[in-house]
Structures are given as structure tokens and as C-alpha cells.
Structure 1
């Protein structure tokens, strides 16, 4: 018995000790080649990047100027150094790319090869080259070689045709004009680039460019630099590109990469030495004779087997009770159990400090959910927007709705959710800060100060909003009906790209299910007639609201506004349709633009707006069709000269008290309702 129990307890740690003595072998040099891109095996596409005909496109291929950013990342991390040695890899990469433009007068911004500590490198469009977040310059860490096609004085660019080495910043360590070697990055011709880093006695990075597949003798860029501090252990490699209000196309046709200079490092933990004296061995037992000896032997064997079995049962019961108790403790946190685990949980103290105690000077807006504050996190050096809920049951309901919905959504035209907080009786959401505020503010208040929003941005906002609504309506696992699309819920990032936010009124539903009837919620002027009448939210009611927003973008007028001459309130949809019936549609375009807009684009935008705001929901296009029209991929819809009329029951199914409305100050809800219900 003594011997059996000793063997049992010795055996418990024995297996881990054996496994821990296996040799630890570090990865050797890495090498891969893509002669063309026939599939996405071992590759991840981010943002607007796509695979088509064996070529990777990094930015959107559209005939209409727009802003775009995209990345491609090799899935497996590359080892550039060893933790326990001073070895740092040298590397070499070769790739063929082309930069073209459908509109030669429109160019920018370029592409970059990068090495990053994470595989989610996707920054903002424009001069940020898809490497850096416009509002969080220090968020993305990277080592990159940029091929820049636009001069950005903010980053000290020498010209619009250069290469440069970037380290955690878009202000290059060193740049070189590629025209000196006869290369025009924007020529549309296939260009082959070689980037070599040698980590030897002389540590140097060199960049070569050629229109042929033959590597030149002389590099275009030479930087003597030790990159060992940046090439630490494992890193991801890939490409990114971006545009800002242009039609520049960035294509990648082939790519090879290799590291060298690393040796296989084999290390073994010190052997587990067990001396002859480290285990006490009992002297051999003298076998008993007769029945008593056999009886004692049987008892010894029984106890030897039963003892370990009993111990295992005890461990199982102890584990079961511990897990059950742990689950019970988690269930006590009722609200936190309702929340998703994806976004970060902020502390109330952290948010209070970042908003200076939720001071009135930090308020940047109000929404269906509550008040929005500007927050600065000193420890992170970042800016965010914090939504503070209404102190009510409805506030909690909307909080949970917004969190559960938007935490699962991923689209470049959605405001990114960064985290949440549920403390001190407060419900708070933390979002990416949008430096240009809401579309409502930019379209009206700033325009009144003499800075009308440029047409290029207006059209791009319409396209971006159509893209994200297509995603919500048709590309999500469950269809999302936003229910409160309006200019104050459309935020603008640093490059004036549309970001849809405020999901406090949104609802999820299966694609094959009928919309549920609910109390009408939303904002007057943006509500579809059938939604006002029956209270049924569908994707078509979102389309109607989108149509109103599009007309606002083109006309620079609110959904319910006063006549230019006079005091009578005018419905924007009716006003534009009236001009359309007279053949004077272009006269609806915002006069503050001073004719600085594309007439063809303006007509298209106005007609799309009217088709979406058609009183007959069956005649409204899907958001996918709208997106295709605005991108020139589908023919515009035919809009009747006269606005269609609908007849409803004289008895409204919902009272005005049931309608959530953010009416303008000084306007009567009844008066506005009367106009919209026509």
C-alpha cells in the first residue's frame, strides 16, 4: 500500500516534467512567393481592398472621386529576431505594382509596404496612406516604405512622386525623388520594387525601382539605420494604400518576401536530475504465507487502487463546486451579464476625468440616447466621444440595444465603438471621436459662417452612407434597421467621410421575417408616410430617410424649412419634386456652392433622393441599387414628373404623443406632422 500510494503521488508531476524537457526549436528564416494572387490563402484583406483577376486592388476602383483605404496582410507572423539572442534578421522583398487614375487631374495618395506588430493595420484614407488613424496618430505602430503620389506639407513631403522610410510616423526618416531614376509612380505602368535590409556590420536599407523585372544596380533610396529596435521577434508584413477625393487605383500583381541571417536556435531546459538518493525506496516486503498473507495482499491491492480513485473523485467534486460558485458570482453582475464582451470596459472615474466631470463645455451634441461629450484620455493621448444615457429605464434599454448591435458590426462608414461603462447608476458608451462633428453642423452652421461643404465631399458622403446602409440591410447576418437616419446622426471623420452612428433606436431582425409593428420612433421630416401611419419599420423606411438626407446634401436645406421668401413652412421633398416637374431640377442645388459642382452628379443625386423619398414604398430602390447608381454601375431610376399620391385611412393609428420627434425650436409638432403626412 505504501509503495502504491508513493508511486501515485510521484506520477502526478511526472508527465509535465517529461514534456517540459522537449527541445525548444525557434523558427528559421521565412520565405514566400506570390507570382500572382489566384486566391486569398494565407492573406487577409482589410478595408476597401479586393481580389480580382489575379490582382489585389488596395483602393476602390470607381469613376467618381472618393476617399478610400485598404490593406493586405500576410496571415502568418514573421520572426525577425530571437528573444534570447542578439540575432536580428535581414530581409528582402520584391513586388510589382501599378498606380493609375481614371481622371488624370485627380491623384493621390499612394501605397506603402509595412511591417507591423499586429495584423489589423488599417488607418485613415488620404495622406495617412491607410497606415495611421487620423484621430489617433500613435495607435498604429509600423515600419513602412511609402510610395507617395501626393505632396502633403503636413508630413513634410518633398513632392508628389517620392519614396520614403517611415517609422511610427508619416514624416519620413528620409525620402528620395523617384524621377531621378526615370520612374513616374502615377504613370499606370507596372513598376517592380525591391526593398533590402542588411543587418550586418553595416546596417542599411535600400530601395530599388524599375519598369522591368531586372533589378537596377543603383538604389533610389539608401538609409543607413539599425532597425533591430523595430524588428522585434514576430511581426506582420503587408501593404496599404489610400485616396482622398480621387480616383487613384493601386494594384499589386506579385509579391515575394524572405528573411535571412537567423539560425535555428535549439535550447533545452536543464535536465531534471534525480539522484539515487532523491527517492526513498522501501525495502522489499517479505511475502506472508497462508490465507492471512493472501488476505492482506488483497487488502493492500484494493486500497492501492481505491485510494487514487477516491482522490480523483474528490478533485472532481471540488472543481464542480468551485465552478458553480464562480458562475453564481458572475450572475450577480446582472447588467454586465447582458453586455457583450468585445469592447473595452472603462471605469467611471476614467470617463469622468476625461470629460472634466462631464462639464457643460465638453458637450458636443445630443441624441436619442442622451448627451455626447468630448473626452481626452491623457494616459493614452487619444480623443473620444462619450455618450451619457438618460437616467431612465428607456435609457438602459437603448444602451443595451446600441451596444449589442454596433459591437457586432464592422464597416468603414460606421462610427467605431471603443468601449462602455456601467457604474454609479450611469450608462455610457465610448466612441471614436469624429473631428468634423456631425453632417448637420457642417452642412448648416458652418455654411452660414461662409464655409459651405464642398460638392466633392457631399457626393462622397452620399456614396459612403449608401454603402453602410447596404451593409446593414443586406450583408449582415441579421438585418439591421436603423430607424433614425438624419444629418445629426451622420458623423464626419478627418477626411469628411460619412460615419453613421446613434444606434439607440435600431432593431435587429432576420432577413426572412416580416417587420414588427412598434411605436413610431425617429425624427419628423425623415419619417416615411407608411411608418407614420402604421408604425412598421422596414428597410424601405430607412431608404426614405436616406433620400431626405441626400436632398439635404444637394440642396443645403432642412427637411422642413421656411420659404426663401416668406414665412410658410415647406417640405423639402415636395419642393424638389415641384422643380423636377417644371424641368428645373438643377435649381434646387445649394446656391452657396456658387456653381462649383458637377451638374451631372447633381442631377443624379437629386433624382436618387426623390426616388428614395417616393411616398410609395414599393417604388423605392434598395440601398444596394442606390450604391450601384452612385458608383456608375447601374442606370438611374426613372422618377415621375409628378409626385405620387397615397391614400390612408382618415383615422391615424398612432397619436402624436407616440412619436419621438426632435423638432426644431419654435416649430409646432402638429404643423410639421401636417406637412409630412400629405
Structure 2
């Protein structure tokens, strides 16, 4: 608990500093919730990777920004004094630009930037993941609306942007065309050497000068001479509040861009144009000067002088005591608030998500009224919550009243998803544990779940949207399995746990069954959990969840996306059709049979009416079969699947006949136990009936 209290001190100091109009940011003390990752960026071992980690050439762009804006102007900023009101700033960061394939083509570079919004993500290649073609065209005709300020560290000479070389630094104002650039040939710094490079960027508002310093070492003193020094007035491009971040991109290369660590500071708002950069850095921490005593001429004046001296001494002392008292009271309140929270839900567990009160969530859901129900999961009911106020924010609230049964799942979901950041994950916004209830608060997905979109009448998903869903879920599973500090096994991949945002992009949710594992540890045997039809054969047999069990479930989802059929469906025509009575048909078996008969394209969803790319359809069907292979050793890793769907690798050949797998009698009993525990509950749109007693104790189940 003491460690939690110590971590509260930087937050308090940052609050006090912000009140003085200065901001200090340090990546070492920021939590996951303090960062916004866009595009292909991801976190690994305390570093930010801005582009894909692959040894196969690809085009990639990624951005990371501070979630909260930084104040760059004071409240007195007007047209007449806008220049004086702009803060000076200094950034220091270490980065690595490396290419895993020696001798392969490089490109394109990395950039530090200040942006008016936190959705900044541009094109790949020379646009550095920050700009796009419209910015470039506007710059050429002199009409660029330059609101993004960036310093680029470019490793590709693009003639269309007038780059001086493939190893240069440039200042960009709203466009990838640098207003000024410096070749680094004479500096001894090679940006793409693969070594850690440290950069300093200083802007002095009073002098209207920006300077960039570079060193080829991770820990080094700041060089005396800058590699780039330019006289520039940034006041036309700086708004009152801006977002600070980094971006990078590649185009047909394997170059990787990593931010190792960084700090950023603003230095006040100078009262006059003659204020110096150094004085701004310290002005807010200086004690108020004692007033000068008047000249002593007589006794009354002498008395006044003594009073003035006493006030000059006691004033700062009283101010210091008041500050100490305020800090002590604030810290005490924070400690009391933390100590009242259950240990399982301490700030060590939930650094980013906000704790909501039961009262505000109840009000937002109209007392958890049935009219606000938007879905039901294995561990609770999901409600739509409309928060009052000017922002009118909408959330999805998952509620479980059976606290004694689902507390472990609640803690698991909270622990896992609070530390994850990916564009295809449902964002956890907060939590609540009051009145014996467990509540999780998520961002609201207006288009519901994938299963409703696939099986609704009419089906609302076109083929390009379905392909986007397949690629997005592959990307987030690759992140969970191989790019997190601890790999995450989801264990319940299915269409009802995949949600669609306002742009119909997929978001993976429901981490109630997820488990964290170290990359160098084998999975442990656990109680088998999940949904029938999506469970891998070896998972049913051993109860051990691995990345490959998630891959199997993903393969089933992929076939659903292509075929528009559920994993276990009713077939009244003996091999085709949907719904109705008849026997149960396993989707994987059905598609594999069509593949063996060289009729794989007939598996395509008839409701698409032939409006799909045939090559893409066949590709997804083959990848789905490959992932749903009964033999886990034959399934591809999710990183390989991402490369296949991005056309960066060829799919593995799929045998025309589904491989056979024989379970032992112990596995048969295990399957029956699982089916019995499910009862007659409806999951994923089909019923799991209670099994009859086996006819023979040693009977095998062939799949």
C-alpha cells in the first residue's frame, strides 16, 4: 500500500505544476491510460513501437500521443499578445530506427509532433504517419492550413518533398514538405544505424528560435551545437491546448521505429518578450521577493521599516506553511480514499480506468431498467448508460449481481483489459464495486455485436466490411499473444464477443475468461471454459488454454464471416441451407467437405449475392480451415495470419480431407462434464443439450 501512496505524489505535483501553467511529462511515470495509440503502434517492455515488428516488407504507420492536452497559451492570449502568450518547450527522447534485414530497403522515418487533436494518423511512406496528400498539395500552392508542428528524423530521400538526403532532420509545419532541413552527414549521426539515438528539441518563445540536438548514445550529455537551428515563430500554429506525441511509417520495407523513453516540459508564459528561456524554467518555483524597506529618516519611519522587514520575512514563511498544509491535507485525503478501496481493486490494479459511483451508473441506466438492456453475457447483463451533462457520454455497463460467483471473473477482466491498448479492443472506461454488485464500464459500441450483424435479417455487413473484421481481430489476437509483456489467452473468441464501432470496425471484448501468462512459461491446466462450437479439441481433452486454442476459435469465427452460418447449425437439406429442423451440422466439417470436393467457393454466404472478391473469399476460407485444424501444431500463429491477410505471406496448404483426431475415454468424460455444466443454456445462437449417459465406458469420440 505504501508503494501506491508514493505513486500518488507525482500526480499531486503535476496538478500543482499545471496550476502554475507549467507542464512536465515523463514517460517513466505515465500509465497506459495516459497514452493514446493509433494505427499499428503498440507497447512492449516499456517501449512504444510505432510500426509493425515484421521481417516481411510492409507498409505501416503508427502514432502515440498523450491522452490529455498540454496548455501552450495562457488565459490572456489575444490577437495582440498571442506571441508573448505562447509557452517555450523542451523535449528529450531516445529512439531506435532498425532494420532486421541487413541490406534491405529502409524508410521512412520518425517524427516528434504537436497536434491540435489526438486522432492524428496520416498516410504511410514519406508522410511519416502524420500527414497525407492533401497536406502536401496545400503546401505546394501556398495554402496549407498548418496546425501540426513536427520535427522529422527522416531516413528516406523523397524528391517530391525536397528531402536533402536519406539521413536528415527537418521542421514541418502542417505539411510533409519541411520548411527547413539539415543533412546529418557531417554530424556523425546515422539515424538508421539500429543504435539508440537521443534527441533534444528546444523552442524559445521569446527568441522565436527552435533548435534540435542529436547524440548517438542512449545516455549522453546534450551536445553544445545543434544539428538544426531555425528562426521561426510558432505562435500561428499553436493553439491554447495541443497534444504531444510521436509518429512513424514505412512503405514496402521492414524498418522498425521504437521510442525508448521521453520527457517533455513547457516553460511558463513570459510576461514580456525579453524574458529568457532559463528564467521561465524557474520563475514559478521562486519565492516572492521581500519588499524593499523605505529609507530611515525618523522614528516613525524606523518603526515602519521594522514592520516591513517583519512582513517581508513572515509573508514567505506563512505562504510556505500554507503550501505544506495544503499538500499534507491533499495527500491525506488521497491516502484515505485509497485505503477504503478493496485490495483487489487498488490503484496498483487499476491505474487507468476511473472508479464510478453506483449512484451515477444507476441514474445513467434509469435504475438498470430492462429498456436499457443491450446484451447478456456469461457473467452479467450489459446496459446502455447515458451520462448527463454537456458531453452526454454514452457507455456500456456490464452488471453482475452474483458477486460470490463472478467476483474472480470480474477481477480477471479488470486486471487484464486495464493494461491493454489496441485499436481493435473495447476500451475499459471504469469500474464500480458497491452494494454487493460488480460493474464494468466500457465505451459504447453503437452497432452491437458481430453475430447480430451476421445473422440479422437482413444481414448488414458487406464483403469489404467482413474482410476488415477478419483482419482486425487477427491483429488484436497477434497483439495479445505476442506483443504484450505478458501474453493474454482470451479463451472465449466468438462472434458475440466481437463488437462493431460506429465505423463497423471490430472490437474484441469480454475478458472474463482471459488469463495472463509469461511468455517463457507453459500453460497450466485449468477448468475448461468457453462456448461449444468454438473450443479446440485439445482444450476439451486437457483443459490447457494456449494461443493455439484461441487460433482455433478465430478460425471458426472466420468461417462464420465467410459463410454466414453458425458453428453448429441445423440442416434440413443434408448439407446446405440454414435454419429449420434436421440434424446438427458442424461448420468446420461442412466447409472442409466442400474443400475436398473442390467446391470451396460454394461455402460463401448466399446473402452476399455474389458481391464479393472471389480471391479474398477463397483466401479467408483457407485461412479459416488452417486455423481450425484439429492438430494444434498445424495451426498458424496469429502473427502469420496477419501477414497472410495483409498479402505479406502465402497461406499454408490445406489438405483436402480434414485430419482425424481420436480422444481417449477420459476426454469423452470431460466433454460430457462440460456439456452438462452448460445445461440447456443458449450460447452463440444454438442450444447445448444435457448429454445422455455413455453407452460404453471406453467409447472414443472421433472428430
Say if 1:384 and 1:430, in contact at 8 Å, map to a contact too.
yes
Map of 1:657 onto structure 2: 676
The CA deviation string for residues 299-357 of structure 1, in whole angstroms up to 9 with x for no partner, is: xxxxxxxxxxxxxxxxxxxx9xx99x968981674554484232101111111121122
Cα distance in 1, alignment partners of residues 341 and 178 from structure 2: 66
Cα distance in 2, alignment partners of residues 61 and 456 from structure 1: 26
Instruction: Specify which of 527, 551, 555 is matched with residue 547 of structure 1.
Output: 555
Cα distance in 1, alignment partners of residues 403 and 87 from structure 2: 60
| 1:190 equivalenced with 2:190 (yes/no) | no
Cα distance in 1, alignment partners of residues 693 and 510 from structure 2: 23
Say if 1:465 and 1:499, in contact at 8 Å, map to a contact too.
yes
Map of 2:3 onto structure 1: none
Cα distance in 1, alignment partners of residues 38 and 602 from structure 2: 41
Cα distance in 2, alignment partners of residues 365 and 123 from structure 1: 33
How high is the TM-score relative to the length of structure 2?
Answer: 0.59
The CA deviation string for residues 159-204 of structure 1, in whole angstroms up to 9 with x for no partner, is: xx99775999xxxxxxxxxxxxxxxxxxx972479xxxxxxxxxxx
Alpha carbons of structure 1 residues 44 and 350: separation in structure 2 relative to 1, 3 Å: closer
Map of 2:380 onto structure 1: 370
Cα distance in 2, alignment partners of residues 415 and 192 from structure 1: 41
Map of 2:119 onto structure 1: 122
| 1:560 equivalenced with 2:552 (yes/no) | no
Say if 2:38 and 2:423, in contact at 8 Å, map to a contact too.
no
Cα distance in 1, alignment partners of residues 627 and 308 from structure 2: 84
Map of 1:285 onto structure 2: none
Map of 2:660 onto structure 1: 645
Map of 2:637 onto structure 1: 622
| 1:272 equivalenced with 2:252 (yes/no) | no
Say if 1:573 and 1:610, in contact at 8 Å, map to a contact too.
yes
The alpha-carbon deviation at position 476 of structure 1 amounts to 1.4
The alpha-carbon deviation at position 412 of structure 1 amounts to 1.2
Say if 1:79 and 1:235, in contact at 8 Å, map to a contact too.
yes
User: Helix, strand or coil: the match of 2:687?
Assistant: coil
Equivalences for 1:189-338 in 2 at 5 Å?
190-191=160-161, 231-232=239-240, 235-236=242-243, 263-264=274-275, 270-272=288-290, 330=339, 333-334=342-343, 336-337=345-346
Map of 2:9 onto structure 1: none
Say if 2:144 and 2:175, in contact at 8 Å, map to a contact too.
no
The CA deviation string for residues 7-26 of structure 1, in whole angstroms up to 9 with x for no partner, is: xxxxxxxxxxxxxxxxxx99
Cα distance in 2, alignment partners of residues 330 and 341 from structure 1: 15
Cα distance in 2, alignment partners of residues 439 and 407 from structure 1: 23
Q: Which has the larger radius of gyration?
A: 1
> Where does structure 2 lack aligned partners over 5 or more consecutive residues?
1-19, 23-34, 43-47, 89-110, 149-157, 164-172, 182-233, 258-266, 294-304, 311-327, 695-699
The alpha-carbon deviation at position 491 of structure 1 amounts to 0.9
Residue-pair matches, total: 497
| 1:528 equivalenced with 2:548 (yes/no) | no
| 1:511 equivalenced with 2:527 (yes/no) | no
Map of 1:172 onto structure 2: none
The CA deviation string for residues 561-618 of structure 1, in whole angstroms up to 9 with x for no partner, is: 1224562211000000000100111111111112211111111111111111111112
User: Helix, strand or coil: the match of 2:593?
Assistant: helix
Alpha carbons of structure 1 residues 237 and 650: separation in structure 2 relative to 1, 3 Å: closer
Say if 2:595 and 2:656, in contact at 8 Å, map to a contact too.
yes
Cα distance in 1, alignment partners of residues 426 and 630 from structure 2: 30
Map of 2:447 onto structure 1: 436
Say if 1:522 and 1:659, in contact at 8 Å, map to a contact too.
no
Equivalences for 1:583-598 in 2 at 5 Å?
583-598=598-613
Cα distance in 1, alignment partners of residues 484 and 649 from structure 2: 23
> Where does structure 1 lack aligned partners over 5 or more consecutive residues?
1-24, 28-42, 51-55, 92-111, 131-143, 150-157, 169-187, 194-205, 215-225, 253-258, 281-318
Say if 1:191 and 1:212, in contact at 8 Å, map to a contact too.
no
Say if 1:387 and 1:429, in contact at 8 Å, map to a contact too.
yes
Cα distance in 2, alignment partners of residues 77 and 423 from structure 1: 32
| 1:461 equivalenced with 2:449 (yes/no) | no
User: Helix, strand or coil: the match of 1:628?
Assistant: helix
| 1:632 equivalenced with 2:632 (yes/no) | no
Cα distance in 1, alignment partners of residues 61 and 469 from structure 2: 15
Say if 1:69 and 1:123, in contact at 8 Å, map to a contact too.
no
Alpha carbons of structure 1 residues 79 and 427: separation in structure 2 relative to 1, 3 Å: closer
Equivalences for 1:393-432 in 2 at 5 Å?
393-432=404-443
Say if 1:529 and 1:676, in contact at 8 Å, map to a contact too.
no
Say if 1:369 and 1:502, in contact at 8 Å, map to a contact too.
no
Say if 1:370 and 1:389, in contact at 8 Å, map to a contact too.
yes
How high is the TM-score relative to the length of structure 1?
Answer: 0.61
| 1:48 equivalenced with 2:22 (yes/no) | no
Cα distance in 2, alignment partners of residues 57 and 416 from structure 1: 20
Alpha carbons of structure 1 residues 570 and 209: separation in structure 2 relative to 1, 3 Å: closer
Map of 1:286 onto structure 2: none
Alpha carbons of structure 1 residues 146 and 83: separation in structure 2 relative to 1, 3 Å: farther
Say if 1:581 and 1:641, in contact at 8 Å, map to a contact too.
yes
Alpha carbons of structure 1 residues 531 and 231: separation in structure 2 relative to 1, 3 Å: same
Alpha carbons of structure 1 residues 515 and 327: separation in structure 2 relative to 1, 3 Å: same
Alpha carbons of structure 1 residues 238 and 429: separation in structure 2 relative to 1, 3 Å: closer
Cα distance in 2, alignment partners of residues 492 and 372 from structure 1: 15
What is the RMSD computed on CA atoms of the aligned residues?
5.4
Say if 1:472 and 1:480, in contact at 8 Å, map to a contact too.
yes
The CA deviation string for residues 457-511 of structure 1, in whole angstroms up to 9 with x for no partner, is: 1112111111111111112121211110000001111222211100001111222
Cα distance in 2, alignment partners of residues 562 and 357 from structure 1: 39
Alpha carbons of structure 1 residues 677 and 400: separation in structure 2 relative to 1, 3 Å: farther
Say if 2:431 and 2:439, in contact at 8 Å, map to a contact too.
yes
